[in-house]
Each structure stands twice: as C-alpha cells, then as structure tokens.
Chain A
Amino acid sequence: MDDSEFLDAFTEHLDRLHNLARGLTRSTQDAEDLVSETCVLALRGWRRGRPDDPAAWFATICLNAARSSYRRSAVRPVEVAAEEWLHRQADEDADTAHAALASIDATRVRAALSQLPAPQLEAITLMDLGGYTAAQTAQIVGAPRGTVLARVHRGRKVLARSLAQERGAR
C-alpha cells in the first residue's frame, strides 16, 4: 500500500500539528506522543478516504486524541480561576507592561497558557500556535465561529495580563 501521499500531507502540516500538540500537553515528550498517535489514526482514516481539508482534519484528530487521553486532565486543573482573575483585573491599565512583554520567554508563556480554561486554550492553540483560521477552528472544536472568536479573545487578554502582572511582580 502506497502511503506516500499521506506522508507528504502529514509532514507538510507537521510544524503546526506539533505546535498544536505542544499547546495541548504539558511536555515535549507528551506532545510528540500525541502527534504520533494522531499520525496513526489519521493514516487509517486517510486510507478510507482523503479529507477535503487535510489541515483541519489532522487538527480535529489531534484535538480529539488529546481530549480523550490523560493529557487533558493532566494539563487542565483550572477551569474558573482565570476568568475570575480577569474580571478582577478588568479596569487595570496594562499599558505599563507593554514594552516589557517582548522579553517574556516561551516557557513562561506556555505556563500561562496552561492555566487557561480548556475552551480558551484550545481556541488559542489552534489559531495562534497552529495558525488555523477562525472558520477552521470553529469546525475543529465544533462551536460557532462567534463563540470561538470570543474564546480566543478572552484567552489572549488573560495571557497578556497574566504575563504583564508576572513581569510587574519581578
């Protein structure tokens, strides 16, 4: 059986899938395991019929695999705190930290991302790390586009504020 077409398609999207998996898991090893699991599941599905939008289809498989595995529960301890924190901070002027944000490294951003509620994390991971459009993301997570935009917007705000606060506290 010639799977070279699948291999070409999967490797073409490997960077974004890796970024997606990295956002949905706690460690690089878990992310690579998740991508591998996605690869095997996708290959079996591909043999039954090629999808119209391989990029979104791979991401859907990756997200479902992450949701159904231990990785989700391991990485998602916070469901409410970030939202509450956002509202407490709603009137705070975040401009003072603007310039400092450039120096924040990826590790701290990942730590802040991991504190987001699951729907926001998924939306940000798909759109900002994976580079999927709002329409693709809506299809992947199974939510209306407006809902996805609201989730990603709130998540981005929490992210910016939490890192600005961290910077201010140092």
Chain B
Amino acid sequence: MTHDAERDAARFLGGAMSAPDRERFSSHLLQCARCWSEVEQARRGRSLAEGTRTAAPAALRDRVRGLVQAEQVTGDPLTRVRPPRAVRRWLLPAGVPLAAAAAVALILSIGGGTSEPPALREAVADYTAQQLPGAQLPGQRAPDLSRLRLQPVGAGGGSYAELDVDGYAYRDPAGRRVVLYLSDKPFPEAPGARRLAGADGPWVAQRGDVVVLCARLPHALLVVGQDEELVRSTASVLGVL
C-alpha cells in the first residue's frame, strides 16, 4: 500500500479524518510498522511537551492585576512597575540619567548616614528611578488631584522595608512629577526633617533635589516630588496640611 505515513498519522492524531477514514486508518495501524511508529513517536512527543505545563506563578497574577490597575488609572503606564524584590531589576527609562539616581544615593549615604530609615530611602530611590513599589493591585483608586492639574500615570502596591505601601504616580502638563505613597502604618521620620506643624504634625525633608513630605494624620502618607510648592499643594489638597 502506497501512502504518506507522516501525513496520515498527523491527520489521525489531529482529528482531521472523517469517521470512516479514521476507522480505516486504525485498522491499518495494526499492520503497518511505519504508520505505527509515526503515531507512537508523535504521541510520546506530545506527552513530553504536555508534561512541561505549569500553573502561572502567583507573582505573575499579581503583576497582571497591577498592570491592569495602572492602565485603568493612566491609559499609558509611563511609570514602570517594579518587579518583585526577588527578581528586582532597576528599570531606568530613557531620559533618566543614571547620575541622578547615583547622586541621590550618594546624598542619602552622606547626609542621612546610617540613620536614614530604609523605607524612606527606597521611596526616594523609586521616585528617582520612576518605579512603583510593586505590581500589586492598590487598595484604592488614585486620589483625585485634578485641582492641581496632576493626572495619574501609574499605580502599584508593594513594600518598603516593613511597610506595605501603595504608590500613585502623577504628572502635570509641565511634566512635573509627584508620587503619593499611602500605608496603613506611619512612615518613619527622616533625620533632619523640618516640622511643619505640631509635635505629631507633618514634616518635610530634602534629599538631593527630591522633596519628601510626610503626614501621619488623618492618613499615613508620603508625598515625593522635586517641586516643593507642588508637593505642599498636593498635601494640602489631600487634607493633611
């Protein structure tokens, strides 16, 4: 019998044969070593390939949710989402000079010394690198800062040191950036911070060209930006100043 064993086996395994053809080929298989071998090998290959299937990692599910959330806020995620800490890579977008990040790190290491709380150091470093704390879905929609012409450009939850933090990044038409960090717990105070009101009131600190404003009441939040007036205005709109 003259036939194309490879083609017939492929059609047989792929369900592309009519019922009578399939029945005929099944009988033929028992008598034709070539066709039997074709089917056997392909079945083994299929089984091997199927054996590599795995469930998607939980971190990828979180990342997908964070991406959808960021797109929901922005329509265009200008701010990159930081990968989970275990595989963390610094993603500096084009136009952000490496020297700027290095300068902030240097200032922190000199000005803050070892007493700079890690959560603040990470927040400032992420602001400079235009990264969010993580890819988790934030606990709430981005607060409305449209009065300041600030539009959300990204959102994502993660952790800084021991603090669970949601980050919301904004830009105004002039390109000025502000990032708002919200947490269930108070942020630690920066060394050298200037108190703006009361003993437990908000404070502001300068780190290189980055301004950090922190409040504990009524919300634990950080406002980080490069324009102090805009940072203060943001805090004011949010009702903490």
A interface, CB within 8 angstroms of B: 1, 3, 6-7, 10-11, 14-15, 17-19, 22-23, 28-29, 32, 35-36, 39-40, 43-44, 93-95, 98, 101, 104, 106, 109-110, 112-113, 124-125, 128-129, 131, 134, 145-146, 148-150, 152-161, 163-164
Contacts and interface: CB of A to CB of B under 8 A. Distances in A.
Given A43-B68, A134-B16, A149 B11 contact: yes
B77 interface: yes
B10 interface: yes
A3 B71 contact: yes
B41 A94 contact: yes
Contact of B48 (A29, A104, A125): A104
Contacts of A93: 37
A62 to B, nearest CB: 13
7 contacts: A3-B68, A93-B37, A101-B47, A129-B50, A145-B14, A153-B42, A154-B6
A151 B41 CA distance: 14
A146 B11 contact: yes
A158 B74 CA distance: 46
B52 A106 contact: yes
Contacts of A131: 53
B70 to A, nearest CB: 9
Interface stretch (B58-66, B163-171, B196-204): B58-66
B206 interface: no
Given A11-B61, A32-B57, A150-B6, A128 B46 contact: yes
B222 to A, nearest CB: 27
Contacts of A98: 40, 44
Interface string B166-205: 0000000000000000000000000000000000000000
A149 B38 contact: no
A87 to B, nearest CB: 11
A36 B63 contact: yes
B3 interface: no
B13 to A, nearest CB: 7
Contacts, number: 140
Interface string B85-101: 00100000000000000
Nearest to B44: A160
A109 B15 contact: no
Contact of A32 (B50, B54, B60): B60
A22 B9 CA distance: 28
B2 to A, nearest CB: 17
B105 to A, nearest CB: 25
Given A149-B10, A157-B42, A157-B45, A128 B50 contact: yes
Given A14-B56, A113-B49, A160-B42, A134 B67 contact: no
Contacts of A113: 49, 52
B41 A101 contact: no
A130 to B, nearest CB: 9
Contact of B13 (A18, A153, A159): A153
Contacts of A35: 56, 60, 64
B42 A156 contact: yes
Given A32-B63, A153-B6, A160-B42, A101 B48 contact: yes
Interface string B135-163: 00000000000000000000000000000
Contacts of B19: none
A23 B49 CA distance: 10
B226 interface: no
B60 A124 contact: no
B10 A14 contact: no
Given A3-B72, A14-B64, A129-B53, A145 B16 contact: yes
